[in-house]
Amino acid sequence: MVVIKDKTFEKFISYEEILTKVSTLAHKINSDYKGQKPLFISVLNGSFMFAADLLKEIGLDCEISFVKVASYDKMESTGNIKQLIGLNENIFNRDVIIIEDIIDTGRTISKILEEFQSLGAKSIEVVALFQKPKSGLVREELKYVGFELPDAFVLGYGLDYDGLGRNLKDLYKLKN
């Protein structure tokens, strides 16, 4: 159990389980993109651990870049992307794979997909480690999903609560 500020969190998914899942996702991508040179775009901050572990298992000729989106205020999705910053690559005609930590309402990823589409990517897929039930809206657009989570607040493995907890190795769930 960990206590961060006013909240208590219990261990939910171990780092070992996460790594097994990450490796399964990487193998699928390796086989689907055989012979291609995809451009991975990791959505910071939350996806930094996932991106690092995933890319270690990718055997393709590939590039990785990072963008940043601020859309989450403490424990509630504000629903509006404030900014998508740091996209320096020309993604025209590229096979893009967006690396997301967690999809909640799906609003963030929908906006990112829209933006990338308008920049003329050849193909765009999403690899998300976690997905919550609310994101049903975008389900058909998500090709690679690690874990389906219940509708609960989680932290660790890159995900924070008010800026804290990103360094935890395992995934934790808010204790009621």
The tokens 């090709």 sit on which residue?
143
Given phi > 0 = left and psi -120 to 50 = alpha, else beta, which region is 58? beta
Instruction: Specify the residue, 89 or 153, whose C-beta has the smaller distance to ligand 5GP.
Output: 153
Q: Which amino acid is at 73?
A: D
- Residue 99 sits in the site that holds ligand 5GP (CB under 6 A): no
Phi-psi region of 41 (alpha: psi -120 to 50; beta: other; left: phi over 0): beta
- Mask for 20-39, x = binds ligand 5GP (CB under 6 A): --------------------
6's tokens: 């006013």
108 binds ligand 5GP (CB under 6 A): yes
Check if 104 is active-site.
yes
Task: Determine, following the binding rule CB under 6 A, whether residue 125 of this chain makes contact with ligand 5GP.
Answer: no
Q: Are 57 and 146 in contact (CB under 8 A)?
A: no
Of 66-85, binders to ligand 5GP (CB under 6 A) are: 71-72, 77
Based on the shown chain and the rule CB under 6 A, indicate whether residue 170 belongs to the binding site for ligand 5GP: no
Nearest 5°: the CA angle 37, 40, 42 is 175
Q: State both tokens at 172.
A: 């934790």
Do 155 and 165 form a contact (C-beta atoms < 8 A)?
A: yes
Shortest distance, CB of residue 63 to ligand 5GP, whole angstroms?
Answer: 22
| Residue 102 is a binding residue for ligand 5GP (CB under 6 A) | yes
With contacts defined by CB under 6 A, how many residues of the chain interact with ligand 5GP?
Answer: 19
Q: Which residues pair with 102 in a beta bridge?
A: 130
Q: Does 107 bind ligand 5GP (CB under 6 A)?
A: yes
List CB contacts of 6: < 8 A, sequence separation 6 or more. none
Out of 104, 151, 162, 170, which one is annotated catalytic?
A: 104
Assess 160 for contact with ligand 5GP (CB under 6 A): yes
If binding is defined by CB under 6 A, does position 157 make contact with ligand 5GP?
Answer: no
Binding site for ligand 5GP (CB under 6 A): 46, 71-72, 77, 100-108, 135, 153-155, 159-160
- The catalytic site residues sit at 104
